[in-house]
Structure formats: C-alpha cells, structure tokens
Chains A and B, each alone.
Chain A
Amino acid sequence: MGLLSKKDAALIKDPLADNNPITIQVLGICSALAITAELEAAIVMSVSVLFVLGIGNVVISLMRNIIPSKIRIIVQLIVVAALVIIVDQVLKAFAYELSKTLSVFVGLIITNCIIMGRFEAFALANGPWRSFLDGIGNSLGYGVILIIVAFFRELLGAGTLLGFKVLGDPIEKTGVYAFGYENNGFMLLAPMALIVVGIIIWIQRSRNTALVEDH
C-alpha cells in the first residue's frame, strides 16, 4: 500500500486478522448472534457499523483535547447516538423492509462494545487520520466475521444466499433437494451462530498458535 505508511496500514490490517474485534477481543458478540441469519442483514449491519465507527472515531479524535475526562463517556454516547439515528433514519427511508428485520439492533449499535471500546482505547489518544483508519479497520474486521457467519447460516439454514435459491427449491424438490437434502433449521437459531463463531476462533487459533492464551 503506497498510500499508507507501514504503521498506518497495520491499523487496517490487524483488526482483520490477528486482532479481530470478534474472534480475538470477543466484543460485539450480541449483534453477531442476532442478525447473522441472513446475509443481507449482516452486510447492512456491517456497513452501518463502518459508517458509525469511521465517523465517530474522527469526531471523538477531533474533540479529544477539549472533552473533560469525567464526562467523556456521556460525550461519546451522544456522538454514537447521533450517528446511529442518522443510520436508522436512512434505513427506514430507503430500505424499510430491511430495517424491520434489523429491528432494534440498529439502535443497539450504540451499545456495541466495539464502538465504545475504540473511542476509549484509540480515538481519545490519536489524531483524526489514524483514528479514521482504526475505525475503518475494526469495523471491517467486525464485518468480515459477520459476513462469514451469515454466509454459512443462510446457506445451510435456508438454502439461499441474499435471498437467491442457490441450492434449488425445497418445495418443488429441485437442485440438491431432489436428492433428499433438507435445510438445517438449527442454523437459523442463535446458538448456532455462537458455535460458528467458535469454530472460526478454533480455526484461527490453530493456524496461529501465538494467539492462544495461557492460563
């Protein structure tokens, strides 16, 4: 990446792999469980978090020297809340059906631990450009896991991807359904999302054993 220095590039790259907010820091699990039954919802959620965290990090970073540290959590909450309301209104205006699927989980971006975590841990101590990159990197890391989980859950649970019947029609018995295949209803339940995230964590840590914590 010629555009970014090596240090800046790491801000984007690390959260995608070895410092992933979901699989390594184990943050933002609640939304990863709730909205990954469909790929489309997961993508929209990732984009929303990308928007909120990217801009929020810059705003907090710009204000970092004037926020009194006693009330910083309140200030952070106001910034997130304002951004989340924008996202929510945009979704309601242009993608009403989808905003109904996501329901409260758009509003709950406010309490997504990743966002407050990045504000506290990074934006309060770094300049706006680096904070922006950090926000983008972490929300991409979050989005990647969400999309992988949603891909498997929608494919195996409903036999579709983004609503397209990629495995054939279960009622008319075309595609793989002709051979007696059936959708796995367990995939659509929240516990299976946790298990899929667990399997990703398992694979990641067995490929890079340095990530395994000692007890």
Chain B
Amino acid sequence: MSLKKKLHDFKVKNKDKKWLPAFSAIHTFLFLPDEVTHGGTHIKAADDLKRTMNTVIMAMVPCLIFGMFNAGYQHHIALGEIQAATAGFFSPEFWSMDNFFVGFWKILPLVIISYGVGLGIEFIFAIIKGHEVEEGYLVTGMLVPLIVPVDIPLWMLAVAVVFGVVIGKEVFGGTGMNILNPALTIRAFLFFAYPTWMSGDKVWVHGAVERDQAIAAGENLDAISGETILGTLAQGKEVAYSAADMFLGFIPGSVGETSVLLIVLGGLFLIFSKIGSWRIMLSSVLGAVVMGLIFNQVASAGIISESSKFYGLMSAPFWEHLLIGGFAFGTVFMATDPVTASQTTKGKWIYGFLVGFISILIRVFNPAYPEGVMLAILLMNVFAPTIDHYVVQGNVKQRMKRLKAKTA
C-alpha cells in the first residue's frame, strides 16, 4: 500500500474527529491529496490557492533577505563600525556576513512569531468551525515581518497578529471574506496601539532604543538617530541619502520595504505569473505621480510659504515619493491583494489610482501618520465593493440602452 493511499485511508477512518482539519492542512501542504478528480470533462487549472500563495511568497523572499542584510548594515553604520556602501548594489560593505547575521537573528523571530501565532489561530478556528484550514495566512504571515520596524518587541507583534487575524479576518468568515487586508490591519493595530515603537527616529535602526536607554542611564555614548527619509522631510531638513540609495534600499525603514529595486522585480514576477494585477500597480503609481506633481506645482508657485510645515514634503520631487517609505511595497504586495481590492477591470484602475493619490495626500498633510500608504490602502479596501458596484451598474445601464435601441 502506497503512502498516498495510507494517508487517504487514515483521513477516511478519522473523518469525524475534531482535529481532522489540522491534519488535512498539513497533509495537503506536503502531499498531493488523493481526492482530486480523475478523468471526466472537468476544467482543470494547474495551480490551486496554495500554489498561488507560494508564488507571492517567492516574490517576497528577496525583500526578506535584503531586509536581513539591511538591518545589520544600518546597525553597523549607526555604530560607526563600517563605511557607507559606495560601489552600487553589490557593494561589499553591504553584503557582508556580519550584516546578515545581525539581521537574521533579529528578523527570524519576527517571522516565527508571525507564522506561529497566525497559523495557530487559523488552526483553532478551523477546528471550532469544522472546516478545512484556509491558506490565506501564508501570505499575510510573510508580509507582517516585512512591514514592521526591526526592533518591535515580539509580544507586541504577537498581540497584533491575534487582533489582526481574529478581528480583521475570522469575524468576517475567514479567507476570502475579509474586508480589510489582514497584514495591514496588524500594522495599523501596532501603529495606533504602540506608536512609540512604530514611528519616530529610534525604531528603524536595530540598537537605537538600547543605546538611548544606555545614555539615559548615564553612559557616555553618541545617540543613534535613524530617522526615515519621510520623517526628515516632514521636519524640512536636508535628506542624507542619494536617490540611488533610496532605489537600491540602503536606507532605514521597515524590514522589507526599503529596496524598490527588489520590490519592482517581485512585482514583475507577480505580473508575469498573472497573480498580481498590473492595472492596480500601474494606476497606483499614476495616482501618486499626479498627486506629487500637484504638490510640486503648489510649492513652486509659491502658494505656501517655505516656513509652512508642509513645505518640506510638498517640495520633494514627485518621483522621490515613489522611492521612499512603504509606497512601492504597499502598491506591489498589498494593494493587489485579490480579496480586498476591486474585482472589475475598470474598478481596478479607479481603486489603484486612489490608493496612490491618497497615499501621498496623507503623507504630506499629516506628518503624524508618515506612512500614508497603509491608511490609504485600508481606506480603499473599504470602498472597493462600492467601486465595483457602480462599475457593474454602469455596465448594466449601458447594455439596457443597447437593448432598447435594438428592440425599438
């Protein structure tokens, strides 16, 4: 008797047991189950939800590995132990094993907590409700460690994951039924619950908080300031990073959001594998460019004075907004979430455009919420069904008109 048959028989024998969903989840993850359709005239797609999710995860892995190097790199630079990378993307200062291991030991626990807690809740809910464990958390679990600051305490992350998965997803009925993107719900929870760990100039570089406490305790050390570019601009100060640094990702920020280069490659991979919607990505960039250009015009036309607190962010060149903060990451990996985005073609254009447009708007006008992308995507998640409704109604109206013209 083959292993496949044995596992199948085991499932049939235990089909009334409460823990069966937990078993099937692991079973179908590791093996091809025996209950697939054989023969007949069924339409078959080569990929199921698990493969789709795995593809998205593969697109994010480069960002994760880059994030590990970057965490160590920012840490060592801040401590003055290494020189800034100057030789482009493959600078040896950046890609050193020293950097990697600092980041690895900080970021691995984030990944473990994110998956451990999140999947734990998914299993519990599957057993209570008596349905199969859903795949939705596979991508969320990878997104979460990439969109938090590297020094976030692990228990906070665990609390936020519990909140995000239960309130953001399970109360609506689980994967496919949620209104809000669960990963962003988790981040929004952290942002509003523990703002001192989610914004400011101390959280983005590993070690800055500890150093701060040591100074407070009376040690004679230099404080580490690892402000993000958005924070610097909001204060109207000169940015210390070149555009190349921003594009390649050698800047402080959330773990996986810094390297626009790798995010664009991941995005192209998603478009190529037809999993991410290129319409949403493109229209979101368009929206951000339009808003950025409007602000540039406002600033250069002298409508606001240079002393205005919005001037720094408004006068930043529009293309810089695409490179800094979480804009690129949010656009590629979170705005395109097929569950929470608009479903219709026209709706995707409108939805994406507004995501980009509102991101930059929030960024500029509310320096207290420097990450406009998160709030913009959550806001548009709420409006996505409304957009779809009107697109569909518009189509219905047009067809009715055509029908009338034909019959008349």
Q: Which residues of A contact B (CB under 8 A)?
A: 180-182, 184-187, 189, 195, 198, 202
Contact = CB atoms under 8 A, between A and B. Distances in A.
Contact of B195 (A181, A185, A187, A195): A185
Given A195-B167, A202-B171, A185 B194 contact: yes
A187 B194 CA distance: 10
A186 B189 contact: yes
Nearest to B167: A195
Contacts of B192: 185-186, 189
Contacts of B171: 198, 202
Nearest to A206: B128
Contacts of A186: 189, 192-193
Nearest to B155: A180
4 smallest beta-carbon distances between A and B, as pairs: A186-B193, A186-B192, A184-B193, A185-B193
B218 interface: no
B153 interface: yes
B156 A182 contact: yes
Q: Which size bracket describes the interface of B in this complex?
A: 10 to 19
Interface in B192-210: 192-197
B404 to A, nearest CB: 35
A82 B193 CA distance: 41
B386 to A, nearest CB: 20
Q: Which of A185, A186, A187, A189 has the most CB of B within 10 A?
A: A186
Interface string B144-155: 000000000101
Contacts of A195: 167
B193 A187 contact: yes
B213 to A, nearest CB: 11
A40 B401 CA distance: 62
B289 to A, nearest CB: 32
A186 B160 CA distance: 11
A182 B194 contact: yes
Interface of B: 153, 155-156, 159, 167, 171, 189, 192-197
Nearest to A181: B155
B153 A180 contact: yes
Contacts of B197: 182
Nearest to A182: B194
A154 B196 CA distance: 19
Contacts of A180: 153, 155
23 contacts: A180-B153, A180-B155, A181-B155, A182-B153, A182-B156, A182-B194, A182-B196, A182-B197, A184-B159, A184-B193, A184-B194, A185-B192, A185-B193, A185-B194, A185-B195, A186-B189, A186-B192, A186-B193, A187-B193, A189-B192, A195-B167, A198-B171, A202-B171
A186 B164 CA distance: 13
Nearest to A157: B193
A91 to B, nearest CB: 31
Nearest to B193: A186
Nearest to A187: B193
A215 B308 CA distance: 53
Given A180-B155, A182-B194, A187-B193, 14 more contacts: A180-B153, A182-B153, A182-B156, A182-B196, A182-B197, A184-B159, A184-B193, A184-B194, A185-B192, A185-B194, A186-B189, A189-B192, A195-B167, A198-B171
A55 to B, nearest CB: 39
B254 to A, nearest CB: 19
A176 B314 CA distance: 43
A187 B189 CA distance: 10
Interface centre among A185, A187, A195, A198 (most CB of B within 10 A): A185
A202 B155 CA distance: 25
A182 B196 CA distance: 10
A61 B153 CA distance: 58
Nearest to A156: B193
A148 B92 CA distance: 58
A212 to B, nearest CB: 14
Nearest to B128: A206
B186 to A, nearest CB: 12
Contacts of A198: 171
A67 to B, nearest CB: 44
A181 B197 CA distance: 12
The listed residue with most A CB atoms (<10 A of its CB), out of B153, B155, B193, B195, is B193
A184 B153 CA distance: 13
Nearest to A184: B193
Contacts of B195: 185
B200 to A, nearest CB: 14
A186 B167 CA distance: 14
A186 B191 CA distance: 8
B4 to A, nearest CB: 38
A195 B189 CA distance: 12
A23 B364 CA distance: 40
Nearest to A199: B167
Nearest to B153: A180
Nearest to B156: A182
A200 B156 CA distance: 23
A198 B168 CA distance: 13
A54 to B, nearest CB: 36
A143 B155 CA distance: 33
Nearest to A189: B192
B159 to A, nearest CB: 8
A189 B194 CA distance: 12
Contacts of A184: 159, 193-194
Contacts of A182: 153, 156, 194, 196-197
A185 B155 CA distance: 15
A24 B155 CA distance: 34
A162 to B, nearest CB: 23
A168 B156 CA distance: 19
